[in-house]
Chain A
Amino acid sequence: MSLQEEVDLLRTIPLFSRIEPSRLKLLAFTAQRLTFAPGDLLCRQGDEGDAAYIIITGDADVLVESESGAVKVATLGPNDLLGENAILCDVPRTATVKAVTKVETLMISKELFFQLVNQFPSISIEIMRELARRVEKTTTMLRDAMATRAGT
């Protein structure tokens, strides 16, 4: 996959979709391509997160530790973004992600991400917008949920 294809991939991720193409290209160039073998962990629940991953090919399971052992809560595939919370705020990984097949990813380290944001405030504005949309979405869902609850 060439640089341009990676740029196209990044553009499909909502968090990055509105960032100018040239910045996106810099992000793609500086990001690292990282391939995981089946069974490798992309991240481990409770660890400190230092990078976000965008899956290019392959599938990975999202596992959450519970008292009765690890529970699979979702499966991630191509074009999925994972671990972005770790680079936006310092929270430990909330789940374990394990490669099911061979998984090719684009890794964006926290350090790299902040270097970019520091340099180009326009990126942070776009990300802020995307986050605000997410909050708005969550708030709406919460409001709906409470309304439903109050209704019953």
Chain B
Amino acid sequence: MESTVYKFIFRYSRKEQVFILLFTLLSLPFYYASLDIPKLIVNNVLADPDSLAPGSADLRAIVILGIPLGEMERLWLLALYCGLFLALVLANGGFKYVINVYKGLLGERMLRRLRYQLYSRILRFPSPHFRRVSSGELIPMVTQEVEPLGGFIGDALALPMYQGGLLITALFFIFMQDPLMGLASVALYPMQGWIIPKLQRQVNLLAKERVQEVRKVSERISETVQGVEELHANGMARWEAAEFTARMGRIFDIRYQIYRKKFFIKFLNNFLAQITPFFFYAIGGWFVIDGSLTLGGLVAVLAAYKDLPPPWKELLTHYQIREDARIKYDQVVTQFAPAGMRSDAVVFDDREVAPFEGSLAATGVKYIEDDDTLIDGLNLDIPLDSHVAVTGDAVSGRDRIAPLMARLVDTGQGRLAYGDEEAGELPEATLGRRIGYVGPSTSLFSASLLDNLLYGLRQTPQTARSVLPEIESEVARQARERQLTANSPDDIEDDWVNLGLAGVDDRSGLIDAVRRALAVADFEDDVYRMGLRRQLDPSSRPREAGRLLEARRILEERLQSDTFAGLVEPFDRDTYNTNATVGENLLFGTPVGDTFDLDRLPENDHIMSLLAGAGLTEEFLAMGCEVARTMIELFADLPVDHEFFPQFSFISPDDLPEYRTLLAKVERSGEQGLEEEERQRFLALPFRLAPARHRLGLIDDAMQARLLEVRRAFAKDLPEDLRDAISFFDRAEYNSALSLQDNILFGKLAWGMAGSQAKVGQLMAEVIRDLDLRLLVIELGLETGVGIGGARLTPAQRQKTAIARAVLKQPAIMVLSEATAMLDGASQAAVMDNLREEFRGRALIWVLHRPSDASHFDQVLVMKDGKLAESGAFAELMDRDDSVLSDLVALE
């Protein structure tokens, strides 16, 4: 990258800078003309016509830019000048608009180019470098630190040239009036030119320091976010807060010093600017008295001098901005040139090579990290159809083997080859297709599970997007901009998924391939369960919704059998559901949006008026009082943070005292004594009662019958504008607001039936299998968003995703390192078996932490102290005397 911001600017925007300058100069005559016209109006048009005889035509000279152009009647001339003035105002505005937009455009283009350069350098960083630099440092550098450069770049040339020009013109004028006066007006410039950069340099150093401190703060914050669990587990909030405070203190101090110095510079500048008139009056006044300068001359000099400070000030401000930009650029660029960066060609190019044949060969490979030689003199020959286990103790260097074999890190010395291809020369995209790598930590991207699985198929764009005629020009414009700023030429909207890599011809084949990969990773059941929890929009997929309704019908049928009796209480319009809450029973549907939010039903006027209409308000009030009484009796002695509150109580610990007071009031003066708001507090409580669960004996059969009446009234009289706020339960309709499994179940799992969930789940799985719906469920499961970094999946699910992702692209070489550590024992064994089966005839290299697992592999490589200690078949090595492997197995 260019070493200074000016080199960067001139390399990539020379022409544009000159254009801005020329355009600025071009605008000047118009500007001066617009200043000139008011004077002309006053002097030529409005000046007293005393010299004229009454009645004669009052002709005036037309003068534009000092050129006389004949004569004109006074009123017409006024109209001409005013029209001209208006035109010039417009022209000036137009010039300013064009120049500003162009400057903004140029600045933004340059910024885009710079950001892209920085980001592409991050992509080229050698992997070990990421252990030294944190995202907290990199993010602000690429985003806000370079931001001010955009504003500066547009002004980089034009502003100093233009303002400098103004300054020189004014100075020239003053010198022409009187050289001594000219000298006086510039007398202090050398001093300013000498002392201000000195002060500015100090400010610069401080600014540099500040940039670094701010970077450390953002690094610190990102560490806090990432390590928040450790922080709380160790109770370190106070220490962290103190640490943060200390850092803020440093930034504060630096900023304070900067302000003092910066504003001192400003003070000095202002002072020096103001002191020059002192010389004028003193020296010029003396000259006038002395007679060597006319009074008119002095006035003219003073007028010219008035024009000096603005450009001078502009130049000084520009100088400060320039210094700021220079430092920022410097500070950023030096961080983006670590040793051992990969070349552009390796990272961004793509090359198709013939299938690897023969073996993966390492000759004298040495790997050094932070001056530690972790692998030394490694010689390997792994046939590309064999399965190899790598093992060793924790300091043996075994963990570096996997990234080295997958060429995630570069060898320090020695040669690594896949068949006939030198590893170091192959572009990453090529390797990405040929090699699967699953390491100990898995990173997922915040997208759907399917997108994450297809991630390994997207090395290069496959087919260009189809562009509708009406957006053709827009697409072309975007492509041109990408090219102008030397960004990536690829269009993200193209189809990047390489179907051939997954061994399929079309999208429907792809889903089968995905399912196979999921099966290898023992992940299909998880995805199936995710699918069951998802929603489906029946309007866009009516056929699927129809089949799910069929599943609902069949499940209902099968639930009739004795084995499942009483496990599910179905939704029935005419029956009260004892496993659902009062609120759920009243709505008899799923709320869409907030209007009928179950937790806020008591605040809903429509619901409350229906209750009043059914004469239930007083009963609800009585039930509410009873619930409150029970809750107070049960929970009053518990401390406010006790686990029971969120688990069991209807009333939060903070509200308990209030309810106690209200209850006392009820005891004293009956329920009639309550204020409207206080009644509300009690009315809210019964909504959350579910008879099967809470056993308070409050919702008896009579009450249930009356609540059913309210349910009917609610459904019948729902105002038109509220229709969309609820999706009613209807046996014959798919409910878009319910999850897939709730749609099939169409009822509530009975509370307190042992094993009901497992039994019903299994029955549902059978129904889904019988109706061939499993594929649909899995497809929906694949649409699940994984959250930031995959946070919505469990660690085991993340590892399974990574394995499935690597399997899907059918690599010639599969490298795994601790890839199943998060899985449970049964799953680990299953995945290892599946992978060995899947990769029969292809290379499988597995770094194992449990050496005994190596018995399943053709060959075992045992590392010790960074060197290959022994290799061979498991049994053979175990039989050897003084075998390292048998020691490792014994220690397991």
- Asked whether A22 lies within 8 Å of B634 as measured between CB atoms, the reply is yes
The closest CB in chain A to the CB of B751 belongs to A33
Q: Confirm or deny: A1 has a beta carbon within 8 angstroms of a beta carbon on chain B.
A: yes
Q: Confirm or deny: A152 has a beta carbon within 8 angstroms of a beta carbon on chain B.
A: no
Contacts of B566 in A (CB 8 A): 35
Q: Confirm or deny: A115 has a beta carbon within 8 angstroms of a beta carbon on chain B.
A: yes
Main SS at interface, chain B: loop
- Asked whether B695 lies within 8 Å of A2 as measured between CB atoms, the reply is yes
The closest CB in chain B to the CB of A111 belongs to B643
Q: Confirm or deny: B696 has a beta carbon within 8 angstroms of a beta carbon on chain A.
A: yes
Query: How far, in whole Å, are A13 and B599 apart by their CA atoms in the complex?
Result: 38
Query: How far, in whole Å, are A120 and B697 apart by their CA atoms in the complex?
Result: 27
Contacts of A25 in B (CB 8 A): 633-634
> Using a CB-CB cutoff of 8 Å, which residues 118-143 of chain A contact chain B?
119-120
The closest CB in chain A to the CB of B564 belongs to A37
Q: Confirm or deny: A6 has a beta carbon within 8 angstroms of a beta carbon on chain B.
A: yes
> Using a CB-CB cutoff of 8 Å, which residues 26-40 of chain A contact chain B?
26, 29-30, 32-37, 40
Q: How many residues of A contact B (CB 8 A)?
A: 20
Known: A3-B697, A26-B634. A115 touches B755 (CB 8 A): no
The closest CB in chain B to the CB of A4 belongs to B697
Contacts of A42 in B (CB 8 A): 754
- Residue among A2, A3, A37, A40 with most chain B CB within 10 A: A37
Q: Confirm or deny: B15 has a beta carbon within 8 angstroms of a beta carbon on chain A.
A: no
Q: Confirm or deny: B648 has a beta carbon within 8 angstroms of a beta carbon on chain A.
A: yes
- Asked whether A6 lies within 8 Å of B753 as measured between CB atoms, the reply is no
The closest CB in chain B to the CB of A6 belongs to B695
- Asked whether A33 lies within 8 Å of B633 as measured between CB atoms, the reply is no
Known: A33-B752, A36-B754. A2 touches B696 (CB 8 A): yes
> Using a CB-CB cutoff of 8 Å, which residues 107-159 of chain B contact chain A?
none
Q: Confirm or deny: B563 has a beta carbon within 8 angstroms of a beta carbon on chain A.
A: yes
- Asked whether B751 lies within 8 Å of A2 as measured between CB atoms, the reply is no
Contacts of A36 in B (CB 8 A): 754-755
- Asked whether B634 lies within 8 Å of A34 as measured between CB atoms, the reply is no
* Chain B window 626-637, contacts with chain A (Cβ cutoff 8 Å), 1 for yes, 0 for no: 000010011101
Query: How far, in whole Å, are A78 and B787 apart by their CA atoms in the complex?
Result: 49
> Using a CB-CB cutoff of 8 Å, which residues 760-799 of chain B contact chain A?
none
Query: How far, in whole Å, are A36 and B750 apart by their CA atoms in the complex?
Result: 12
Main SS at interface, chain A: mixed
- Asked whether A40 lies within 8 Å of B755 as measured between CB atoms, the reply is yes
Closest beta carbon of chain A to B754's beta carbon, Å: 4
The closest CB in chain A to the CB of B635 belongs to A26
Closest beta carbon of chain B to A3's beta carbon, Å: 5
Closest beta carbon of chain A to B545's beta carbon, Å: 33
Contacts of A119 in B (CB 8 A): 637-639, 642
Q: Confirm or deny: B644 has a beta carbon within 8 angstroms of a beta carbon on chain A.
A: yes
The closest CB in chain B to the CB of A104 belongs to B752
Contacts of B754 in A (CB 8 A): 34-37, 40, 42
- Asked whether B634 lies within 8 Å of A33 as measured between CB atoms, the reply is no
Closest beta carbon of chain B to A34's beta carbon, Å: 5
> Using a CB-CB cutoff of 8 Å, which residues 632-669 of chain B contact chain A?
633-635, 637-639, 642-644, 647-648
Closest beta carbon of chain A to B721's beta carbon, Å: 41
- Asked whether A34 lies within 8 Å of B752 as measured between CB atoms, the reply is yes
* Chain B window 601-642, contacts with chain A (Cβ cutoff 8 Å), 1 for yes, 0 for no: 000000000000000000000000000001001110111001
Query: How far, in whole Å, are A25 and B566 apart by their CA atoms in the complex?
Result: 27
Contacts of B697 in A (CB 8 A): 2-3
Closest beta carbon of chain A to B761's beta carbon, Å: 16
Residue from the list A1, A22, A34, A35 in contact with B695, Cβ < 8 A: A1
Contacts of B753 in A (CB 8 A): 34-35, 37
- Residue among B752, B754, B755 with most chain A CB within 10 A: B754
Known: A33-B751, A36-B754, A40-B754. A3 touches B647 (CB 8 A): no
> Using a CB-CB cutoff of 8 Å, which residues 796-826 of chain B contact chain A?
none
Query: How far, in whole Å, are A32 and B750 apart by their CA atoms in the complex?
Result: 13
Contacts of A3 in B (CB 8 A): 630, 695-697
Closest beta carbon of chain B to A43's beta carbon, Å: 11
> Using a CB-CB cutoff of 8 Å, which residues 99-129 of chain A contact chain B?
115, 119-120
The closest CB in chain A to the CB of B643 belongs to A115
Contacts of B637 in A (CB 8 A): 119-120
- Residue among B566, B634, B635, B642 with most chain A CB within 10 A: B634
> Using a CB-CB cutoff of 8 Å, which residues 833-855 of chain B contact chain A?
none
- Asked whether B644 lies within 8 Å of A115 as measured between CB atoms, the reply is yes
The closest CB in chain B to the CB of A106 belongs to B752
Query: How far, in whole Å, are A26 and B636 apart by their CA atoms in the complex?
Result: 11
The closest CB in chain A to the CB of B693 belongs to A33
Query: How far, in whole Å, are A137 and B642 apart by their CA atoms in the complex?
Result: 37
Query: How far, in whole Å, are A2 and B694 apart by their CA atoms in the complex?
Result: 9
Query: How far, in whole Å, are A3 and B753 apart by their CA atoms in the complex?
Result: 18
Closest beta carbon of chain A to B641's beta carbon, Å: 11
- Asked whether A30 lies within 8 Å of B644 as measured between CB atoms, the reply is yes
Query: How far, in whole Å, are A17 and B630 apart by their CA atoms in the complex?
Result: 21
Query: How far, in whole Å, are A29 and B752 apart by their CA atoms in the complex?
Result: 13
The closest CB in chain B to the CB of A115 belongs to B643
Query: How far, in whole Å, are A25 and B644 apart by their CA atoms in the complex?
Result: 14
- Residue among A2, A29, A34, A40 with most chain B CB within 10 A: A29
Closest beta carbon of chain B to A8's beta carbon, Å: 13
Closest beta carbon of chain B to A5's beta carbon, Å: 9
Query: How far, in whole Å, are A40 and B695 apart by their CA atoms in the complex?
Result: 24
Contacts of A33 in B (CB 8 A): 695, 751-752
* Chain B window 681-698, contacts with chain A (Cβ cutoff 8 Å), 1 for yes, 0 for no: 000000000000001110
Contacts of B647 in A (CB 8 A): 30
The closest CB in chain A to the CB of B647 belongs to A30
Query: How far, in whole Å, are A1 and B752 apart by their CA atoms in the complex?
Result: 13
Query: How far, in whole Å, are A1 and B532 apart by their CA atoms in the complex?
Result: 34
The closest CB in chain A to the CB of B566 belongs to A35
Closest beta carbon of chain A to B571's beta carbon, Å: 21
Contacts of A32 in B (CB 8 A): 752
5 other contacts beyond A26-B635, A26-B644, A30-B648, with CB at 8 A cut-off? A6-B695, A26-B634, A29-B648, A34-B754, A37-B754
Write the residues of chain A forming the contact surface with B, with a CB cutoff of 8 angstroms: 1-3, 6, 22, 25-26, 29-30, 32-37, 40, 42, 115, 119-120
Write the residues of chain B forming the contact surface with A, with a CB cutoff of 8 angstroms: 563, 565-566, 630, 633-635, 637-639, 642-644, 647-648, 695-697, 751-755
Q: Could you write out 18 A-B pairs with CB less than 8 Å apart?
A: A2-B696, A3-B630, A3-B697, A6-B695, A22-B634, A26-B634, A29-B695, A32-B752, A33-B695, A34-B753, A35-B566, A35-B752, A35-B754, A37-B753, A37-B754, A115-B642, A119-B642, A120-B637
Which 3 A-B residue pairs are closest in the complex by CB-CB distance? A2-B697, A33-B752, A36-B754
